[in-house]
Amino acid sequence: MSRQLYFFGLIGLLLLTGCGSSSTTGTAGTQTATADAPRPKTPVEVTTIKDDSFREEKTFRGLTYYLTSGDIKSPIAGYVTKVYVKIGDQLRKGAPLFGLETKEAYALGGKNYLNDPTLKNIGQLIIRAPDTGLITLVQAEENEYVQDGTVLASFSAPDMFVFLIEVPVEQDSSVHVGSVCRIQLPNGRRIAGRISRTLAMADSLSQTERFVVKPDRPMVLPARLQLNITFTNQQHNNAQSLPKEAVLANELQTDFWVMKLVNDTTAIKVPVKIGLQRETRIEILSPRFAPKDRFVSKGGYGLADTSSITINRPANAH
């Protein structure tokens, strides 16, 4: 009886050992298969660093202005028979500006019905320039009736032409005397200018400060024309840049990084410090990258620190 129990016990032990060995072998095989399975690869597009330049600009509204000017007024009530000048004309002292006639002389049409030589040109007057200068405004037209004291024109010294700009007080640190600017003229042409001085009083309502901008060349424009004046706040040359989509950030936009390729199948996360931006590109201040370094430009969102990738070739690539 004891031999039979021993025999059955031995058979049971052998069966259990066989099953355990089979189970262990199966588990090990599964683990080996899992370890050998390739990691999924994320399809991406890549780009390289570019040598670039960036400029940060600020634009303010400007106004044409003459620092000093004088008005030429009609000394009589009558008709303007002749206009000798136009805006921008250089004046010399004594040059004719306007011809005027009284109502009576104008009604006679210049005819001397009494044939009296002493009445020739009676009621007619030539207004002449009181000093040298530049015509900045002409308001009278031929055959127009004007009252005594009506302003016919204005003139100024040519070097008195400037542009005025109003700069918000909180931004006046970036605009100061000596700042160089670019002036957009009404005809689309651009000229250079420089702030020559500031006006002492600020506008208490708009909280702005006024600056005087002198153009780099003599010119004449009607007063009180509005235009744009642009200042360069920062200029970065020899900068490195990447497309904006290649630079990733956290939700608070406080940390930035790029996914840099170490080979054709692996990309790693590299923190970067960014600088100026424009429509499609962003400046990388640090670290400095090599011209041949490659970066994920599309498909990088959500990639881990070290990720397996596969490079998508552009459709037009050869």
Question: Is the same domain home to 112 and 136?
Answer: yes
- pLDDT in tens for each of the 318 residues of the chain? 555 545 555 555 555 555 554 444 444 454 544 445 566 889 999 999 999 999 999 999 999 988 887 889 999 999 999 999 998 888 888 999 999 998 877 676 655 444 545 545 567 889 999 888 888 889 999 999 999 999 999 888 777 889 999 888 777 667 888 999 999 998 889 999 999 998 866 666 767 888 999 999 888 787 788 999 999 988 999 999 999 999 999 999 999 999 999 999 999 999 999 999 999 999 999 999 999 999 999 999 989 999 999 998 765 554
146, two tokens: 């004007």
Q: For the chain, give me the number of helices (H) and strands (E)?
A: 2, 21
pLDDT for 38: 65
Question: Is the same domain home to 95 and 146?
Answer: yes
Find the length of the chain: 318
Give domain status of residue 190, yes or no: yes
pTM: 0.59
CA–CA distance from 246 to each of 264, 265, 267, 305 (Å)? 17, 17, 12, 15
Give domain status of residue 22, yes or no: no
Question: Is the same domain home to 199 and 249?
Answer: no
pLDDT for 8: 53
Which one-letter amino acid corresponds to residue 82?
Answer: K
What is the rounded CA–CA span in Å between residue 25 and residue 166? 84
Q: Which of 125, 156, 187 is the last residue of a domain?
A: 156
* Cβ neighbours of residue 121 closer than 8 Å, sequence gap 6 or more: none
Give domain status of residue 173, yes or no: yes
Pairing mode of beta strands 42-48, 306-311: parallel
Look at residue 106 and give its three-state secondary structure: helix
Number of domains within the chain: 3
End-to-end CA separation in angstroms for the chain:
86
101-135 as b/e, with b when 16 or more CB fall inside 10 Å? bbeebbeeeeeeeeeeeeeeeebbbebebeeebbb
What is the rounded CA–CA span in Å between residue 217 and residue 226? 19
